[in-house]
Structures are given as C-alpha cells and as structure tokens.
Amino acid sequence: MKIHALWLSASVLTLSWCGAAAAQTTPAQESSASDSTDEVVVTAERRSTSLQRTPIAVTVLTGDDLANAGVANVDQLQFIAPGATVNNFGQGIDFNIRGIGKAEHNTQTTTGVITYRDGVATFPGYFTAEPYYDVARVEILRGPQGTFVGQNATGGAVFVVSNDPVIGGGVHGYALGQVGNYNAVGGQFAVNVPLSDTLAARVALYGDSRDSFYDISGPHTGDDGVRIAAGRFSLLWEPTENLSVNFKTDLDYLDLSAYPADPVNSTNDLFDVSANAAELALDRFLRSTLRVDYETASGIRIRSVTGYQEGNTAYRTDLDGTSAGNLTFADSVDETIWSQELNLISPDDGPITWILGAYFQEDQYTFSDGRLYIGTPAPAYTIQGTNPKDSAAVFGQMSFNLPARFQLQIGARYAEATTTNHIFVNQFGLPLYQDQREEWSNLSGKVALNWTVDDHNFLYGFVATGFRPGGLNVPVGLGLPAPFDEENVTSYEVGWKAGWLGGHLRTQINAYYNEYENFQVIIGYPDFPVPSLNIELNAPDTTRMYGFEAQLEAVFGAFSVDAGLGLLHSELGTFYATDPRIGGPAVACNPLTGPTSATCINLEGREQTYAPELTFNIGAQYEFALGGGDTLTPRINYGHVSEQWATLFHNVARGDHIEERNIVNAQLAWTHGDLVTTLWATNLTDQHYVGAINSGLRFAGPPRQFGIRVLRAF
C-alpha cells in the first residue's frame, strides 16, 4: 500500500450527483439548433482566437454542451474529450491527458494537467468535487502548455470560465430545480444585476442533496449521502472603454459523507461493501480572483490576474476496506494558495503579435491531524507539519505572419520551483523529523509553423517541451531520503482543422509523438527493497508515447452530432523496479541495470499508467418543432475509455488492471416559451465500473442516475 503517499494526499473523490450541470441563461439552451456550426472562440492563449485557427489540439464546451452531455464536474470530462482520463479515489485525483498528468497521490507530486478557474490555477488535483454551474465554457487543451499562460503543464490544461456580469444587460438570469433517484434534490439560480452604467454584479447559487449509492454492512458511521452548497459573487466594473475590472469569489461546502471502498479483487458488487470505521469526507474552501485589463492607446493590453484560495479537506476511512480489519486512516489538511500573473498582450491585427508574461505562486499545505490506526485506540503512525511550495516563471510567445498565409510561432518559458518539508512523523513510536528543501529550474519552449491554406483549411505543426518539478520523500527511518527529480516532455505534433459543406461540418485531426523523461513513480527502495517500504523516484529511461486524435461537429438543420476519437500507444524504456507490495528477499534492484529476479522486475515495454489505448465519444440530437413554437429534443451521448493500468507493474492479482468504461447518457428536453423541462439519465446502462484504484482499494464510479429538471430563464 502507498501509505506514505497517503499522508500527503489532500483531494476528493467526486461522487456528487451528475444531474445539474449547466450554465443555462436562455430557455432553449439545452436543445438549441442552428443551420450550421457556430464560430467557436478559444481564450486560453490569453487572447480570443478562432478554434479553427488555433494551432493546438483543443476541445471547447459551452454551458449548453455541458448540460447536453450530462457533465456536472471534472469526472465526466473523460467521456466527452479525446485523450482525457480521470481516476478519482477520494483524497486524490489522477487527471491525465495522453497518458501524462499525475500518477502518484501526494502533495509533493504536482500535476501535469493544470485546471484554471476564471484564469487562476486551482488546487492541484484537490477539492475536485467543485460543481460546474453557471459556466460559460470549458476549454480542454492537450499537450504541453506554458509559453502563453500561468503555470507550465506537461499533459495539458483545462480552463473553466464562469459567466461574467453584463453591464447594460438589464436584470436577467435563470432558476433551475430538479429531482431524481437516490432521493436527489438540487437547484441552481443566477441573476445579473446592473448597478450603474459602468458596474454590474452577478450572483450564482448551487445546491445538491442525495442519498448514498452504497449499501454498507458493519458497525461503521458516515456515508449518509451528499450535501453540497456553493455560491459565486461576481462584480464587473468598466469605467472607461480601456479599463475592465472583474472580481469573483467562490464559496464551496462539499459534504460527501465518505469514500467507501473495498479490496481490489473483491467479488461482491462495487456498491455492497463492509466497514467498521468512522468515515468522513468534507471539503470547505474559498477562491477569489481579480482580473484587471487595461488597453493602452497603442492597443497593447496589460492584464493582471490575481488569485487567493484557502481550503480544508477532512477525511476518515476504513483503509482495509472491510469490517473484519482494524486499519483506519484520518487526516485534516489545510491548503492556501496565492498567485499572481501579469501579461502584456499585443494587438491582434499586426504582422507580428506577441504575449509576454510573469507568474508567481505560493502554495502551502498544513497537516494538522494525519494518523493511521492499526487497531484502537492508539495511532501507529502520525504526521504533522507544513509543506510550502513556491513557483515563479517568465514566459513569452511571438507570432510572425509570413507570405503565402504562413505563420511562425516561437515561445519560451523559464521557471523555478521550490518545495520544503517542515514535518514531524511518529512512525510506530519512532520520532522522525524532516526539515528539507529542494529547488528546480527549467527552460522550455515551443516552435510552430502554421499555414492557413484557405478559408476552410488550416494546418499546423510544432515542437514543444514541458516541465514538472520534482519533490521530497517522507522519512521512513533510513536517513533523510533523496528527493525525486523533475519530469520533462518533448512533444511533436501536426494537425489539420477544416470546415466542410458550407459550414455544416467542422473537423480537427492531429497526430503527436512524445518523449517522456524522468517519469515520477513510487517503487520499493532500490538498495533496500523491503515490502511496503516506498520511495518516489524517476524512471531512468525515456517513455515513448504517440497517438492520433480526431474531433467533429456537424449541424444539419434540426440534427446535430459531435464526436471525438483518441488512439494512444505508450512504451516504457529500460526500468527495473521492486513492487513494494510483494514480499520476498530484500535483493538490491538497480533501476537501470537490474538484474532481473523474482522481486526485481524488468518493466521495459510496458504501458504507461492511466494511458488507455482508445478513448471515444459521440453525441447526437434532433430538434422536433411542435405547435406554438415549442420544441422537443431527444439527445444521447456515449463515452468509452478503454482498459488502463494503475501502476507500472501491471499486476492483475494486486488489482492494477482497470476495466474499460462505457457510459451512456440521455435526455429529452421540451422547450415551451421561457421554460425548459428535461428528463435526463446518466450511466443509462448502469455499468458498475471501477473509477479508481489506490492503496489496494477499488473506488466505484457513479451508478445510473435519472430525474427531471425544470429551467426558467428571465
């Protein structure tokens, strides 16, 4: 079991109800249709660009799209975006794009897929049950990012943008209520309020309540369902045409009761488990963002994005996953993040465009109560202390328009990162102190050549590199452990974006090849491989990953369809490692030379973790016109994620194999005036699938849910 990694974990298994998932601001949003595909704008590059002229692989989803696909939180993104996988297991999330992101579950291992909320990089893989409500759009970027935005990302980035207040838009908004199985009751409300000719506010509220999915036997406490409350206050001030100030504050109270789980190879149904521990899963956090934009007389925009976030995650669980054992775990972790980004952005219409930026972030974890119990009442293992981490970077990207509609892009980023552990560990009565600091620096970049062939075809190709800093290991009584090093990714990608049939069909096709250096992984100590004794280090050889992706969107009158496909092949280089879960003689195992033995395993050629070979999604709807201007719109969505591995050891007996996921969502929306009434169902076939594996336990994905929601816009 990855016990030492668990001490530093601080995130949530997203088990919230999938029903309410939207930024609805008009009564017909859930079933709107047009004669052709609408122009889609991408803003992740800190300027507004057309999706079909943006030289990166990206999926853009509006609030309408989220509602139509049944997406309520981060977990469901994997069923509507090619190449994305989400494995959520309670206090930790593995969000990977093209097999790159995060595979180890602790605060020292940063994430390679950065999630931004209203321009601010959020908690890195934690507090992930935050619902999607009153959302304007979600942009999912694949591949290394960092020459035009905040943090460096090796796998990709996700931008979640909520609706802004509208100055001069009058009082408008929406109210939504819904009920469903598991005694689910939920609602949303948003209203735009003009305060003056230069000032407007928006208030959005979200509530959700349902019973537990689980039938738990044994003398446990907790797991009585989900109770979520969230709210957002936004204020937009535009005193002149050149100045815009946008302030937003989010408050979230996420009581998920528990993260029930049982041993990986249990034969019982995923939702029939036993436990004899007091269980708890409670997240509370605040996030404030301030974006200031000023445009000079020359057209250069100066942008400041400031973020402050603080939260607490409290967790208690039955760590052996049965009512027969006495292994339990509890922690309470506080996290506080300050961040500041500054941009200088050129006008959009010159022969040379550019963006310059600087970024700083301070992220501190405070472990006030982390303890593992073997029996009761005395804890066998405790941890307390702080883990402050700082990162800083300067970056820039320039685009040169060339003859024959070619464009050259060059970008670079210099980054520094530090991490420090000030912690005390009581390990089975052995006091251990760690006061250790490590730092990393990196220069990464991107070179791209783009060609606008004509008004309907756009080609691009680039080479980009990405960087993820290393971290510190927790002491285990063998002296001060060595840190693990940074990861680096070099990505080669070519793509073709095209429009067809007079604007009715839009496609994106791309292929990529990645060289993944220094993959961070937890294995047994190479020189002292005792069972259950772990250390995080770097794979000594290059992992090679390549794939193909395709997306399409089509609208033909009342009929519309969207689809995505991702193919991925991954292959580890030379790597010998000891599986810390397996007993046997403590034989030394050099990561580069081995030698191969019963415990020293040659991992060369194995698939990367959380890198399914196939991801596929498709959705279709048809809008039937009824009398009196009413419409009736049935829609169906299907998402497939093929089998994947939870560790590099590929040990089926130890539960490393994660079966494929096949999720069908459906809805029927009736629009009548300013009312939209929708019958909806998620996971329609009720597939009971493993949503994640960690510490020898399997965590279930959500079962079938269904209900009815009513939306009224005003």
Question: What pTM was estimated for this model as a whole?
Answer: 0.92
In whole angstroms, give the CA distance from residue 23 to residue 162: 8
C-alpha span between 68 and 74 (Å, rounded): 15
Q: What letter does residue 354 receive in the DSSP assignment?
A: E
Q: How many CB atoms lie within 10 A of CB 147?
A: 26
Of the candidates 357, 360, 356, the one whose C-alpha atom is nearest the C-alpha of residue 308 is 360
- Nearest CA among 2, 86, 67 for reference residue 29: 67
Residue pair 544/514 in contact by the 8 Å Cβ criterion: yes
Q: Which residues of the chain have pLDDT under 50?
A: 1-33
Show the tokens assigned to 20: 């309410």
Q: How far is CA 588 from CA 79, 600, 601, in A?
A: 42, 8, 11
Q: Which helix (H) or strand (E) holds 283?
A: strand 280-295
CA distance 103 to 95: 8
Contact (Cβ atoms closer than 8 angstroms) between residue 610 and residue 87: yes
Return d(Cα 231, Cα 190) in angstroms, integer.
10
CB atoms near residue 168 (< 10 Å): 9
The rounded distance, in Å, linking the Cα atoms of 384 and 7 is: 9
Give, in order, the Cα–Cα distances in Å from 275 to each of 210, 216, 674: 21, 7, 48
Phi, psi for residue 501 in degrees, rounded to 5: 55, 50
- 209/224 Cα distance (integer angstroms): 10
| Distance between CA atoms of residues 590 and 601, nearest Å | 10
Q: What values do phi and psi take at 330, rounded to 5?
A: -150, 145
Beta bridge partners of 370: 383
* pLDDT at res. 468: 94
Encoding tokens for residue 641? 């994620």
Tokens linked to 295: 């445009």
Q: What is the pLDDT of residues 11-44, one digit of tens each?
A: 222 223 333 343 343 434 444 445 666 677 777 7
What was the pLDDT predicted at 33?
Answer: 44
For 469-558, strand residue ranges (E) read: 487-500, 505-517, 520-524, 534-538, 543-556
In order of start, what are the domains of the chain with their CATH numbers? Answer: 3-713 (2.40.170.20)
Residue 326 tokens, joined = 């006495």
Residue 33, Cβ neighbours under 10 Å: how many? 17
The pLDDT of residue 9: 30
